Each structure stands twice: as structure tokens, then as C-alpha cells.
Amino acid sequence: MPFVNTLDLVTAAKGRGYAVPAINIVDPLTIKAVVEAADSVGSPVILQTSVKTVKSAGAGVLHFAAKEAAENASVGVSLHLDHCPDREVISLAIRQGWSSVLFDASDRDLEQARKETAEVVAEAHAAGVTVESEIENIIGVEDGVGSDESRHSYTVEQLVEVAKETGTDLMAPQLGTAHGMYTAQPVLLPERVRQILALHDIPVVLHGGTGLSNAEFDEFIAAGVTKINISTALKHAYMKTALEYLKQCEASNKWEPVKLFEPMIAASKELFVSFADIFHSSGKDVSR
């Protein structure tokens, strides 16, 4: 089926006890693998591309691969640009046909973030594209974007005020999580999700999902989170299976590039199925 609007996917999850898995893919292989896995368990899926991936693989290549995978699937699939502070790349994704974009203005002060977010929303909405907004930075660096230090933090009231003024479709607030692998137990803030939703009916997104326990995911979903981002886990699964295969090639001195893809695809599929189960999204596709 054609791409489904990202906002439609996450809105459908509201009050249904699940969150839509948003997986950061890295190439056409992982796009195909993740969508096929989603189709096999009847789960909606959001394919996320980092700025680095867009620049590396090319917007046209990624869009074509995602569109083809979506059209061959019976579940809802959307294509999302993750963490992008670069307005030129935002515009590129909108022109190219992405379903949604995350404008990351967390490196700007509040007034500049407010102004630019409103501009991005106007540009995106004119093309039928959904906007996720981040104005307070989520700790950690992901594909070269972000900071390991808290630069901007706001009250729930300020976040809601900016979201309403700018017309933002989805919100990515600080929830105690961080990008990358956790080196210490995070102090999670599911109550902040409830506070936001009490003031504004807007989908809340959880970033930094890799490394949380099933119980912690359940707590966030119960609080109202309807989109959960996974990036680091796929990178590890993808590259560790590749490393293992390359070690086998070195030991046997037999080098077959095409066979390298098989374990990487299998690992990507297994990872998605696992998270669809954890997020309770299996069998919850919007078309069902």
C-alpha cells in the first residue's frame, strides 16, 4: 500500500495500548527487511532516516526503496526524517516525498526555535507532510546530531505553548532517556507524558529507546507514548552480524559479498519482530 501519514499511524495507537515502532534504517536492505518483518506480524512501522543516512545513500535511493517496500506490504508504512537541524535537508525530504520530518531546533534558543519550527510546519503542511518537533535537547549524540549535555530544558507549559503556536503535529520532549547505549540507570519521566497530554492532545514520542526494559516501555506506553524510536539496537544487530560473517570469510578465505547480506537482513527482521512484541504493535496495523 502507499505510504501512510505518520500522524495517522500514531493517532491510531492512542488509547489502544501500543506504540508504533520507529526504526532507524541504514540502507535499502534494512528498509526491505524491516517492512517485511512488520508485514509478517501485522504491525505498522515508521522507517526513520538520519541526516547522515540521507546524505550517504541519497534521498532518491532511500525514498524509492521505502516506497517500493511499502507498496509490497499490507501494513501501514511511513518514511520519517529523524533529528534534523538542517533546514536544507528538511526541505529536501519534504520535496522528495517523506511522510514526516523531525525538525530538531534544540540547539536554538527558545524564541529562535519557536520561529523556525513555525516556518518548517508551514512548509511541510503545504506539502501534506507531518512535523515532529524537538526544542529541548534529548541527551546523547545520534549520527553526529545532538549533545551529551543538557542545553535547553523547558516547562511542560512552555512545550505545549510552542506546540500549539507552531502547529506541531508530534512532540519529542525530554523524558529521561538518552540516545545510544546507557552506561547508568536513567531517571525516567513517564509522568511528564501525562502532564503534556493533560494540556494538549498531541502524540508524544519517546527517543532513546534502546536499552530500556520491557516494563519501562510498558510504563511509557501506559502514560500515552504512541511512537518509540529505536536506532542503536539496529546498528548493533546489523554490524555485529556482518562482523561475524566477515570473520568466517577470513577463516575460510572464501569471500562471497551477497551472502554477507543474508545474516544482516535476518538480524534486522528479528530485531523488528522483537520490538513489535515489546511495544504491543503486532496485529495492530491501521488497515486491519
Question: To 10 degrees, the CA torsion angle through 1, 44, 167, 224?
Answer: 160
- Residues with Cβ within 8 Å of residue 161, at least 6 apart in sequence: none
* 3-class secondary structure, 226: strand
Between CA 251 and CA 253 the distance in angstroms is 6
**Residue 84 half-sphere exposure toward CB, CA atoms < 13 A:** 28
- Residues with Cβ within 8 Å of residue 72, at least 6 apart in sequence: 35
Between CA 219 and CA 215 the distance in angstroms is 6
DSSP state string for 91-153? HHHHHHT-SEEEEE-TTS-HHHHHHHHHHHHHHHHHTT-EEEEE-SPPSEEETTEEESS----
Name the packing angle between helices 190-199 and 214-223 (round to 10°).
10
Contact 281, 21 (CB under 8 A): yes
Instruction: Please confirm, yes or no, whether 82 is among the known catalytic residues.
Output: yes
- Residues with Cβ within 8 Å of residue 8, at least 6 apart in sequence: 76, 286
Which residue among 27, 82, 143, 169 is the active-site one? 82
Cα 45 to chain centroid distance, Å, stands at: 9
Tell me which residues are annotated as active site: 82
